[in-house]
Chains A and B, each alone.
Chain A
């Protein structure tokens, strides 16, 4: 009989202990919270220490980035890509090396090369990219590169490029160009059609 009452006493007292624990955790949620609201909040990145200067470390593999103003549309990167994740469409520019402001086209690259082609499409599908870095070597203007590492002065490192929509992982680097405005520069094309 005394066992019966001591059981009840133990049950009641331990139940209140449990309630107290959850109550304290509920009140201290601001302090104890372990959830990271991921895309908006991130853990701080640890300092890189790979044993040598990261500027010399040429094979960092993060995300491909293109400085489209420097691109001459030579398609060497597209041919180099082993998985065909780069899609480039170019059209011949009537005026070599001239700025065409109404389609946001700059005529001369930062290296001084005069552009002969207008790049109207430059898509990189990062869902297909295998991060082999092979496209960056043939580029004569060094305008396609992996972000961060030795290129961090051009673009900060971006290794977590999560998106809410899968289509947003196809990075479109070319400037949007109206077909009408583009055709203005190629009278010879319209003649061929006619």
Chain B
């Protein structure tokens, strides 16, 4: 169900076009917001548990007498969320108040509106734009404005450092990510997310699924470049120098508390989902089944998309608890000296490949 179909379906469409549009948008946005909230709780629980398991610990557990955190600590994310909601909302006296209040929402909007173009299934997409993937890349970098706002308005040198680092990092990593996407768009010849998914139907040589990652060796490398750049754009470890607890307290989020901090948290997890979702769509076949014709219906499409996306979210969590943080200069040199030449090479290679083979 897309937002366009919804607008056509609503009964009072022709009389009040503005109300129809707003109704349709709200009907689409509310489930997405609820989905982000629930998914963030699940992801926080997964992150806590996986990190503990990787460190030979058990994480939150709720055994014994009393209420604790439920069985296996299942209520831990609920308790975390409740704590963040109930905490005092502190605005520093010297902060730039309007920007300080605005910043978390700008960051969240950047992650939230990306969901509009994510194809959850064959028919489950909010807006199947003909520029879908370009739109996601464009609005995904909105969050950098929010982080700079947060860093600037906090009137704190750690925050400002964090904000500037985040800006440098996100702007740099946009380039290899964008170039990797260009190399797959050369194959699919469409910017529409559903178009990219439809390109990946079928099989290669009857065995491998016809996913772009398997299409040619260059797109195989492009997947890793895109995914790692995506991790960097989410400001996740090992690319979390904007937060860098040991250097910058909490970077741009130092002065934030309570609900506003929760929004930064929520948008981090939402961004992880968007990056993983775009990687899954652009390289791993999106809602296509791994075996052609095996549970390949629209309903199962949602399952395959969610499965691939959440696996990539797991990989991000796995990265976070394995790799140490990069230094600022290392971060920049990886981006400009390794990812950029390789992604340019990918574009060249994919071009040659589609001329000779495809």
Contacts and interface: CB of A to CB of B under 8 A. Distances in A.
Interface of A: 8, 15, 18-19, 21-23, 25-26, 29, 32-35, 37, 39-40, 164
B58 A29 contact: yes
B322 A34 contact: no
A15 B54 CA distance: 15
Given A18-B322, A40-B64, A25 B338 contact: no
B321 interface: yes
B57 A19 contact: no
A23 B318 contact: yes
A39 B323 CA distance: 34
Interface of B: 50, 53-58, 61, 63-64, 66, 318-319, 321-323, 338
B323 A15 contact: yes
A138 to B, nearest CB: 36
27 contacts: A8-B338, A18-B322, A18-B323, A19-B318, A21-B322, A22-B54, A22-B321, A22-B322, A23-B318, A25-B54, A25-B55, A25-B56, A26-B50, A26-B53, A26-B54, A29-B53, A29-B56, A29-B58, A33-B58, A34-B57, A35-B56, A35-B57, A37-B58, A37-B61, A37-B64, A39-B64, A40-B64
Nearest to A26: B53
A164 B66 contact: yes
A39 B54 CA distance: 24
B63 A37 contact: yes
Nearest to A164: B66
Closest 3 CB pairs of A and B: A40-B64, A29-B53, A22-B54
A25 B53 contact: yes
A22 B319 CA distance: 9
A168 B319 CA distance: 44
Contact of B322 (A19, A32, A35, A39): A19
Helix, strand, loop or mixed for chain B's interface?
loop
A19 B323 CA distance: 8
A25 B318 CA distance: 12
Contacts of B318: 19, 22-23
A15 B334 CA distance: 14
A15 B228 CA distance: 12
Contacts of B322: 18-19, 21-22
A18 B318 CA distance: 10
A22 B238 CA distance: 15
Contact of A35 (B50, B58, B323, B338): B58
Q: Among the interface residues B57, B321, B322, B323, which one has the most CB atoms of the partner chain A within 10 A?
A: B322
Contacts of B56: 25, 29, 32-35
Contacts of A19: 318-319, 322
A173 B65 CA distance: 22
Given A21-B322, A22-B54, A29-B58, 10 more contacts: A22-B318, A25-B55, A26-B54, A32-B56, A33-B58, A35-B56, A37-B58, A37-B64, A39-B64, A40-B63
A34 B64 CA distance: 18
A21 B61 CA distance: 24
A104 B319 CA distance: 64
Contacts of A39: 64
A53 B18 CA distance: 91
Contacts of A33: 56-58
B290 to A, nearest CB: 21
A39 B64 CA distance: 8
A15 B64 CA distance: 40
A193 to B, nearest CB: 44
A129 to B, nearest CB: 24
A39 B319 CA distance: 33
A19 B54 CA distance: 10
A23 B338 CA distance: 27
A37 B64 CA distance: 9
A191 B341 CA distance: 103
A73 to B, nearest CB: 33
A34 B321 CA distance: 18
Contacts of B61: 35, 37
Nearest to B50: A26
Nearest to B319: A19
Contacts of B63: 37, 40
B232 to A, nearest CB: 14
